[in-house]
Each structure stands twice: as C-alpha cells, then as structure tokens.
C-alpha cells in the first residue's frame, strides 16, 4: 500500500534529521533511512502495530526514540506525525488531517 506523509510529518522528519546531522555527521542520514524502513514495514503490514488512539496506529523506530503515527485509509496510508517518544506525547491530536 502507498505511504504518504502529512505536511506536519514532513516538517518533523526534516527537523529531526537536521538536528541529528548537526549532532553527528551522517546521523541525520541514518535517521532518514530508519524512517524509510519503518514506512516500508508499515506499507507491507499496516495492521501489525498497536493502536495509539482511535484509528491511529504507531510504529516504533528501532534505533531512534521516535515513532511514526499513521492512519490506514482506503487506498493509502498517511503518516500523521514523526513523533519523539518522550516529548509532548499527544501534541499531534487534532492535527491528524493536516
């Protein structure tokens, strides 16, 4: 199934990867690769991860303290947020459709 990123998720991905790249050269690229692998896992097995809230599911990254929050739509999957697991846990609530 096709995976799309919301504008919020795209911005969060860019912000986090820039932060990691500043911290250590090449780490931002590793972060993006981990996101890519998680999105691939989600596309292959969309219902494999637990429900975070309502119909929003979460896929935890393996190497970084982030999770992808996503919704399964009729013909695609939308990544709602690229969320840090320990900061403002429900900041994305109400922003699902942006």
- pLDDT tens string 1-45: 999 999 999 999 999 999 999 999 999 999 999 999 999 999 999
Task: Provide the pLDDT for residue 67.
Answer: 95
As a whole number, mean pLDDT of residues 87-95 equals 61
Please state the domain extents for the chain.
2-84
Q: Which two tokens stand for residue 68?
A: 């992808």
Q: Is the predicted pLDDT of residue 77 greater than 90, yes or no?
A: yes
How far apart, in whole angstroms, are the C-alpha atoms of residue 61 and residue 3?
A: 16
Predicted structure pTM score: 0.88
Which CATH number is 2-84 given?
3.30.2310.20
């Amino acid at each position: 199934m096709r995976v799309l990123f919301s504008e919020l998720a795209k911005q969060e991905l860019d912000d986090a990867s820039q932060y990691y790249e500043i911290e250590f050269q090449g780490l931002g690229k590793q972060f993006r690769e981990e996101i890519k692998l998680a999105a691939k896992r989600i596309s292959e097995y969309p219902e494999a991860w637990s429900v975070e809230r309502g119909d929003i599911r979460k896929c935890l990254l393996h190497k970084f303290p982030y999770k992808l929050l996503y919704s399964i739509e009729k013909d695609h999957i939308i990544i709602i947020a690229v969320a840090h697991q320990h900061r403002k846990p429900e900041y994305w609530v109400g922003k699902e459709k942006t």
